[in-house]
């Protein structure tokens, strides 16, 4: 592992403020050191995450205060997720930035992401509706296994039936089955030239992909949603969510 570059030097490289010789040296090291390349990718994501989460001004203020009042002795930084890399950070580095980087990386997980997107699908009931289908009744009663069983019995399930089964699979945290069913709705829509549950499929695929650890596909779905200004779930996702998924892709 290459230990000659500290956090300030790598940050300067990312911002293009390093001198030409140091820029060249780091570039050459990156071509030979996969671990350094991974560390730089994590740093870049964390810095962008800090900007997206609105912490940047607070960190700069804390940095100035710290640099004005710091004592000359070296600070001991506990090794956490970034291992020996953080262990070699000295007092000359930005203490509060280090803490923010650790917080961003360590607090980002599939569990925390899914909890923040815990929007449960509810069967719509319009005024004047008297009867619900057997599947809809089972879903409203949270009998999710029954919903899946009823769907499997159908010889030619509709988009509505397949989507409801996908939501049931998500509720019991069966990510692979949820993905299969949601993608089946997309195929049904393509074959029938319709757009039923189109926005819902996009959003819940994000959850299903994160649940199964398929972060690259989750990121693609988020990007697709954010590109569409009229998407029903655009307000439920942000660039900050996209960076969280990128961090998870590096962590896990």
Over the stretch 152-170, which tens digit does the pLDDT of each residue have?
999 999 999 999 999 999 9
Which DSSP string corresponds to 193-252? Answer: T--TTHHHHHHHHHHHHHHTT-HHHHHHHHHHHHH-TT-TTGGG--HHHHHHHHHHHHH-
Q: What is the pLDDT of residues 162-221, one digit of tens each?
A: 999 999 999 999 999 999 999 999 999 999 999 999 999 999 999 999 999 999 999 999
Q: What DSSP element (H or E) covers 145?
A: helix 144-153
pLDDT confidence band for 46 (50 / 70 / 90)? low
Domains of the chain: 7-106 (no CATH), 112-251 (1.25.40.10)
Q: What is the pLDDT of residues 213-230, one digit of tens each?
A: 999 999 999 999 999 999
3-state secondary structure 40-83: HHHHHHHHHHHHHCCCHHHHHHHHHHHHHHCCCCCCCCCCCCCC
The region that residue 121 occupies, defined by phi over 0 for left and psi between -120 and 50 for alpha, beta otherwise, is beta
For 196, residues 6+ apart whose C-beta sits below 8 A from its C-beta are: 159, 160, 163, 185, 188, 189
């Amino acid at each position: 592992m290459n230990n000659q570059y500290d956090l300030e030097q790598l940050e300067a490289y990312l911002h293009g403020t390093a001198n030409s010789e140091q820029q060249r040296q780091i570039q050459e090291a990156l071509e030979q050191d996969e671990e350094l390349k991974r560390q730089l990718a994590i740093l870049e994501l964390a810095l962008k995450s800090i900007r997206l989460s609105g912490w940047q001004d607070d960190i700069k203020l804390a940095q100035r205060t710290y640099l004005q009042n710091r004592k000359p002795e070296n600070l001991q930084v506990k090794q956490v997720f970034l291992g020996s890399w953080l262990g070699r950070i000295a007092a000359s580095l930005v203490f509060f930035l280090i803490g923010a980087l650790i917080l961003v990386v360590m607090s980002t997980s599939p569990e925390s992401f899914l909890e923040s997107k815990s929007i449960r699908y509810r069967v719509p009931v319009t005024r004047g509706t008297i009867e619900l289908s057997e599947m809809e009744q089972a879903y409203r009663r949270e009998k999710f296994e029954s919903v899946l069983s009823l769907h499997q019995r159908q010889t030619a399930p509709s988009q509505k039936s397949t989507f409801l089964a996908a939501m049931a699979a998500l509720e019991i945290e069966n990510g692979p089955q949820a993905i299969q069913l949601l993608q089946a709705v997309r195929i049904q829509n393509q074959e029938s030239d319709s757009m039923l549950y189109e926005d819902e499929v996009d959003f819940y695929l994000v959850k299903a992909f994160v649940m199964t650890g398929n972060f690259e596909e989750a990121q693609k779905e988020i990007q697709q949603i954010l590109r569409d200004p009229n998407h029903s779930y655009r307000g439920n996702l942000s660039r900050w969510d996209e960076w969280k998924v990128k961090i998870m892709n590096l962590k896990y």
